């Protein structure tokens, strides 16, 4: 089905084929799950023609895996690199106008591609978002996979939360979370786990340090994992021992902001409106300038994908989109509080994917 | 010192500044250690002028870390993205010719940069390898860091090797290796750990599967870690129980190939000659067509960097280069054997960084 949509879009734009280099697009369209070591060390690309059998181009290291996971794709192996193979293939396949993904190709590679195709009389056309726009709205199967990733994430969180003690360092806790993810069956973390204790929590993306967790201070834990390719993303702010009144107050404000956003999120609501619902609560409480990032983002095969929930996105949400709702308050010197859940946009509202209610410890 | 070299190279080419986007170049030139989540989510860039104070451009999330780690750089924060900041900065700094790294910039970003600079009458020039060529030869300090990474890697290997048992799966062993790396103080794995047992070892870059390790079969373990930024990369092929004669023979051939290469590697030897020394041993034993990759590659801040030891590299090695020596034999259906050590190129030979001699189990 996704392939048919791509083919239709190619025909509409009179393009003969799309070269898929973006790794999540590759997995989405083919089922091939290999990871790229980096953008400069790719595990392969797709060549999807407007008509006929799609191709998967890779090297011998990945041949068995590609064959097993993407049986609908004809495999072609390159020995001297992708461009040398394309130079042979494109004329043979009568491809005259080739779309490529400029948002996931190195400039030097794109320049070499343009030079090579130019010499062959082939037009290479940068086209962004052809697959990304399709990935925004999830199918039922995708939503169930994301739900499974969210629930496993919560299990991991609770396992580690139950043994959290003052004196453990941020780094130790982050390592423990990532180990537990793997032990409980995740493919691995979806991003570098954040553990920010006390003042360190004032940086929304703090790198875990050797600072020990203290009693009574807010500890921001932002963690996500990958399961069957799909990501989870969750933040909890916990306190060891008794939180003081200020901490309790700030947690309550952030939680109210999260609930306010969750209440407006539905098909037709814009990313900007969702963001505003949360921001108003935090501003009304006097902390508006301490909520320095957007409310949320889409999650799927990538942990950060469209749509964005922030002041700049005037686009409307649609059923099947999966987004995070993660307001926060960050006070320099003092620390931070962020609460993050994931929801599925529906026609008349949204469905909460999370079940964990750790933030309700604070009443 | 590295900064001075960059400045000299800029002046020679009549360039006013270099925009450093490649993460290892950024760390090499500034000391700033943050990791990019992906090329599309950068932790910041350097702007090194031919004259005057260098700049580090990042966003608020990384401000504290950047300030602490790169005190010699003036920090500038962007809120609306890098390009918007550059648009203000470049004219103010009187930069007329700006070099950028086309091998580590997305095509869409480069196109936007070229458009923006063009409108300002600034020339943006793609320049590859300015920092990479400097990174090839390591200083004494760098070599000591790499040595520490190699030795820690060996400790991790031996810890896990001592508890390796038939029935454990490839995936479990790979996970255990990566966990142990972290527990023993590594920043993390330098690449996805490879554990290929029996036939799976016939793929040089096998992805660990749920296949259990068997008795008597060769098991390829290729692992590396990162310590203080620098990488290690080591492969051992082990057997649980008694290897049969064929396995022993192949391990011996690969080991002899490794020794032959180690004996020719010195300053002045080309990458091609080093590769040939190993390849001749394997070919003479009748397995030439089953050694389907190059002999080795440079290792430093990146686990794969210049120089390459393979048939295509006619460039000469120089003192201070650190390279892997990793011949292998891969027999479809049967399995694979690869042995990988790291050496430092010296004037009259090379120094072996590894101490582990697990391959000598087979006599």
The full set of domain ranges for chain A reads: 2-135, 140-361
For chain A, percent of residues with pLDDT exceeding 70: 99
Mutate to test the interface with B, among A43, A106, A172 (most CBs of B within 10 A): A106
Query: Hey, are the CB atoms on B175 and A191 less than 8 Å from each other?
Result: no
pLDDT at position A10, please? 97
Mean pLDDT over residues A310-322, rounded? 97
CB atoms within 10 A of CB A253: 20
Alpha carbon distance B8, A246 (integer Å): 55
Q: pLDDT per residue over B124-146, tens digit each? A: 999 999 999 999 999 999 999 99
Q: What is the pTM of this model?
A: 0.90
Alpha carbon distance A205, A292 (integer Å): 12
Query: Hey, are the CB atoms on B102 and A104 less than 8 Å from each other?
Result: no
Band of residue B204 on the pLDDT scale cut at 50, 70, 90:
confident
For chain B, percent of residues with pLDDT exceeding 70: 99
Q: Which residue of B has its CA nearest to A189?
A: B37
CA distance A21 to chain B (A): 12
Please provide residue B230's backbone torsions phi and psi, each rounded to the nearest 5 degrees.
-95, 150
pLDDT at position B362, please? 60
Partners of residue A205 in chain B, C-beta under 8 Å: 61-62
**Does pLDDT of B65 surpass 90?**
no
Q: Which residue of A has its CA nearest to B304?
A: A41
Partners of residue B292 in chain A, C-beta under 8 Å: 60
Nearest by CB to residue A111, choosing from B40, B102, B109, is B102
| pLDDT mean across residues, chain A | 95
CA distance B106 to chain A (A): 5
Record the tokens describing residue A319, joined without a space: 């059923």
Domain A2-135 is found in CATH 3.40.190.10: no
In 3D space, the residue among A159, A167, A168, A170 whose CA is nearest the CA of residue A225 turns out to be A159
Angle, in degrees to the nearest 10, between helices A107-119 and A82-92: 30
Mutate to test the interface with B, among A23, A107, A291 (most CBs of B within 10 A): A107
pLDDT at position B207, please? 81
Q: pLDDT per residue over B263-283, tens digit each? A: 999 999 999 999 999 999 999
Residue B14 region, left (φ>0) first, then alpha (ψ -120 to 50), else beta?
Answer: left
Alpha carbon distance B185, B197 (integer Å): 27
Interfacial B residues in 126-185 facing A (CB < 8 Å): 126, 128, 175, 178-179, 182-183
Q: Which helix (H) or strand (E) holds A261?
A: helix A245-264
Mutate to test the interface with A, among B99, B106, B110, B203 (most CBs of A within 10 A): B106
Q: Is the dihedral of CA A104, A106, A111, A114 positive or negative?
A: negative
Q: Which residue of B has its CA nearest to A106?
A: B106
Supply the DSSP symbol for A151: H
Nearest by CB to residue A61, choosing from B61, B64, B203, is B203
Query: Hey, are the CB atoms on A105 and B104 less than 8 Å from each other?
Result: no
Residue with tokens 């940069």: B113
Mean pLDDT over residues B237-253, rounded? 95
Band of residue A363 on the pLDDT scale cut at 50, 70, 90:
low
Q: pLDDT per residue over A236-247, tens digit each? A: 999 999 999 999
Contact of A198 with chain B, judged by CB distance below 8 Å, is answered with no
Contact of A210 with chain B, judged by CB distance below 8 Å, is answered with no
pLDDT at position A274, please? 98
Q: Which residue of A has its CA nearest to B114?
A: A107
Residue B100: strand pairing partners: B19, B126
CA distance B363 to chain A (A): 30
CA distance A73 to chain B (A): 20
CA distance A297 to chain B (A): 14
pLDDT at position A362, please? 60
**Does pLDDT of A5 surpass 70?**
yes
| pLDDT mean across residues, chain B | 95
Alpha carbon distance A177, A207 (integer Å): 14
Q: Which fold has domain A140-361?
A: Creatine Amidinohydrolase (3.90.230)
| Lowest pLDDT segment from A135-149, A189-203, A269-283, A313-327 | A189-203
Alpha carbon distance B38, A308 (integer Å): 18
Interfacial B residues in 60-99 facing A (CB < 8 Å): 60-62, 64-65
Record the tokens describing residue B235, joined without a space: 């492969």
Contact of B106 with chain A, judged by CB distance below 8 Å, is answered with yes
Q: pLDDT per residue over A38-62, tens digit each? A: 899 899 999 999 999 999 999 887 8
Q: Which helix (H) or strand (E) holds A3?
A: helix A2-12
Alpha carbon distance B344, B340 (integer Å): 14
Q: Which helix (H) or strand (E) holds A110?
A: helix A107-119
| Interface contacts A/B by beta carbons within 8 Å | 82
Cβ B337 vs Cβ B250: under 8 Å:
yes
ipTM, two decimals, is: 0.89
Mean pLDDT over residues B283-287, rounded? 98
pLDDT at position A174, please? 95
**Does pLDDT of B339 surpass 60?**
yes
Nearest by CB to residue A104, choosing from B60, B106, B126, is B106
Partners of residue B104 in chain A, C-beta under 8 Å: 40, 106
CA distance A319 to chain B (A): 27
**Does pLDDT of B363 surpass 60?**
no
Band of residue B239 on the pLDDT scale cut at 50, 70, 90:
very high
pLDDT at position A153, please? 98
Q: pLDDT per residue over B88-114, tens digit each? A: 999 999 999 999 999 999 999 999 999
Supply the DSSP symbol for A343: E
Partners of residue A183 in chain B, C-beta under 8 Å: 175
pLDDT at position B361, please? 64
Q: Which residue of B has its CA nearest to A199?
A: B64
């Amino acid at each position: 089905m996704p392939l048919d949509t791509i083919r239709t879009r190619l025909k509409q734009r009179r393009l003969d084929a799309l070269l898929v280099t973006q790794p999540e697009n590759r997995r989405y369209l083919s089922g091939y799950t290999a990871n790229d070591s980096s953008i400069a060390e790719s595990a392969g690309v797709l060549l999807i023609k407007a008509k006929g059998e799609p191709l998967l181009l890779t090297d011998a290291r990945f041949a068995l895996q590609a064959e097993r996971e993407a049986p609908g794709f004809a495999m072609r192996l390159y020995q001297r690199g992708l461009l040398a193979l394309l130079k042979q293939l494109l004329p043979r396949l009568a491809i005259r106008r080739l779309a490529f993904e400029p948002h996931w190709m190195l400039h030097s590679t794109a320049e070499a591609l343009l030079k090579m195709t130019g010499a062959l009389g082939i037009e290479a056309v940068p086209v962004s978002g052809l697959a990304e726009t399709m990935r925004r709205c999830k199918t039922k199967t995708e939503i169930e996979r994301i739900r499974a990733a969210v629930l496993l994430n919560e299990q991991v969180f609770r396992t580690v939360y139950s043994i959290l003690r003052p004196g453990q360092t941020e780094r130790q806790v982050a390592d423990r979370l990532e180990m537990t993810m793997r032990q409980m069956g995740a493919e691995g973390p979806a991003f570098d786990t954040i553990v920010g204790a006390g003042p360190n929590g004032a940086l929304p993306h703090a790198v875990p340090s050797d600072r020990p967790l203290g009693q009574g201070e807010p500890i921001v834990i932002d963690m996500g994992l990958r399961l069957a390719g799909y990501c989870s993303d969750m933040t909890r702010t916990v306190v060891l021992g008794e939180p003081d009144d200020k901490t309790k107050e700030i947690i309550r404000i952030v939680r109210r902001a999260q609930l306010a956003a969750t209440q407006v999120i539905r098909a037709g609501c814009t990313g900007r409106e969702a963001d505003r619902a949360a921001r108003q609560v935090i501003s009304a409480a006097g902390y508006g300038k301490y909520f320095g990032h957007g409310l949320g983002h889409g999650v799927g095969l990538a942990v950060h994908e469209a749509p964005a929930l922030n002041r700049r996105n005037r686009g409307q949400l649609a059923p099947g989109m999966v987004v995070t709702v993660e307001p926060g308050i960050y006070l320099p010197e003092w620390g931070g509080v962020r609460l993050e859940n994931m929801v599925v946009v529906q026609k008349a509202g949204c469905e909460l994917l999370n079940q964990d209610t750790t933030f309700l410890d604070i009443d």
